[in-house]
Structure 1
Amino acid sequence: MAKFFVNSEDVFENEIHIKGTDVNHIKNVLRLPVGKEILINNRQGKDYKCIIKLIDTDLVTADIIGELEETTEPAVQTVLFQSLIKGEKMEFVIQKAIEIGVTVIIPIITERCIVKLESDKKTKSKCERWQKIAESAAKQSKRGIVPEVLWPMTFKEALTYAKQQLEVSCIPFENEHAYHIKTYLKNCKAKSIGIFIGPEGGFTDEEVLLASTFQISPITLGKRILRSETAGLVTLANIMYEMGEI
């Protein structure tokens, strides 16, 4: 059953209005007819089972026939602090992290980042594209929310955010050999976890040392060196497995 996300103000007592690009998607891509059942989410974790009542030029109206209990969202909240990496790789990470179950993605600017942000206008455009990818992935994987991709932060800003907003955080690091992710997660009972992932060239020793002063634990993902676009997904998948979400 196709799933769509709307803003809460478009949810009324007996019907829901779908606007924007989803109207074209319903009409011309999926070719859904009047009378077709669909799922609609209010971006706040509530799903509605609906039937399409009217398809207009720029509006689809659907009747609410029931509310569904949300079962797809993980009990553990995860924030992926992903160092900026080249275009398609960054988009891949966003898409797959959302499929796995990430709650928030925060692009971060680290010392060895190859990608450099330019003007605020171009950064805004990137963020808007990343959020569209996030929404598409949330639809495909039947998420109960659309995870946010926040405005990029500096490494220091991200460390501060993690310390203030999350119970624990970890930083996979190629020079860490003793503290394995399996041990870290076995002892972890937190309901919110941050994951710091370095860029193509990895974190510097100084960055990892700084992270440690913010109580962020360096961990190893094993004997093999993983690419930046792989490391975050592996860490997320391990968290979901250990927390009983996979």
Structure 2
Amino acid sequence: MQRFFVEPHQIDEEAHQIHITGTDVNHIANVLRMKQGEELWISDGGKCEYRCTIEAFEPDEVLLHIIYSQEPDYELPSRIYLFQGLPKADKMELIIQKAVELGAYEVIPVETRRCVVKLDGKKAAKKVDRWQQIAESAAKQSKRMLIPHVHEVITFKEALKYAESMDIRLIPYELAKGMPETKEILAAIEPGQSIGIFIGPEGGFEEKEVKAAIEGGAKPITLGRRILRTETAGLAILSVLMFQLEN
């Protein structure tokens, strides 16, 4: 069943109606070709979701009738922030899509010293808009209750500053201690704690960057004996955290 997101002001609880506006009107009417009486899910971007039927089509909105509402427990109990070093080509699109499916709360693209990709202001803004659309699409597909935010591109120094208030900061590093130490670090993470994950680009982090992250409170961990690609590393640790934090 199709899922869409709305703002709280679009929901009229007393009238049992929801007003769909904006680009979703065209998507429902002309792309999906949905008809009056068809059912769909609506999320308010928080804890509540609504099962609705299409009541009417207007030029600038689709009017829905609320059948019932519920508060499912789809979200992870911790907010996970993925600080992703800018990769080459379209790898970021895949990373964002899968990170959203695995429960990431926010994705922060980061320019590091070994990044091949360099984005100026206009190009970066255009990319972020595209990435945000991918995040929204993935959130709808995976039954997320909110649309994870894709942050504007920031420097590594800015990323460390942004992560200062987070409870746990992790940085996969090939020179980190063995798996027992990593398992101990991960096992100590409790539901409700905010978690920042730092992933380097194709060339990895420079030693100075790793040192700065560790001095800032990040804990170096290993992801095993194999060298993972940048588009795999973040998803690997997200998968581990998802299984650990679920219920």
Q: Aligning the two structures, in what range does the TM-score lie when normalised by the shorter sequence? A: over 0.9
Deviation at 1:21, TM superposition (A): 2.4
Of the candidates 60, 75, 80, which is equivalent to residue 78 of structure 1? 80
DSSP 3-state at the match of 1:215 = coil
Assess if the C-alpha contact under 8 Å between 2:47 and 2:71 holds in 1.
no
Indicate the residue corresponding to 1:218 in structure 2: 220
What is the alpha-carbon distance in structure 1 between the residues aligned to residue 89 and residue 52 of structure 2? Answer: 37
Q: Map 1:82-231 onto structure 2 (within 5 A).
A: 82-118=84-120, 120-164=121-165, 166-178=166-178, 180-189=181-190, 191-231=193-233
Of the candidates 39, 42, 48, which is equivalent to residue 41 of structure 2? 39
DSSP 3-state at the match of 2:163 = helix
What is the alpha-carbon distance in structure 2 between the residues aligned to residue 189 and residue 10 of structure 1? Answer: 35
Indicate the residue corresponding to 2:5 in structure 1: 5
RMSD of Structure 2 on Structure 1 (CA): 1.5
What is the alpha-carbon distance in structure 2 between the residues aligned to residue 87 and residue 10 of structure 1? Answer: 38
Tell me the TM-score normalized by structure 2: 0.93
Deviation at 1:170, TM superposition (A): 0.3
TM-superposition CA deviations, 1:49-93 (whole Å, max 9, x none): 111101233311101222111221111210000011124100000
User: How many residues are matched?
Assistant: 243
DSSP 3-state at the match of 1:121 = helix
DSSP 3-state at the match of 1:163 = coil
Deviation at 1:182, TM superposition (A): 2.4
TM-superposition CA deviations, 1:169-222 (whole Å, max 9, x none): 100012224365323211222621110000010001111111011110111100
Amino acid at match of 1:7: E
Deviation at 1:121, TM superposition (A): 2.1
Gaps of 5+ in 2: none
- Asked if residue 241 in structure 1 is aligned to residue 243 in structure 2, the reply is yes
Gaps of 5+ in 1: none
- Of 192-201 and 175-184, deviating more is 175-184
Amino acid at match of 1:93: I
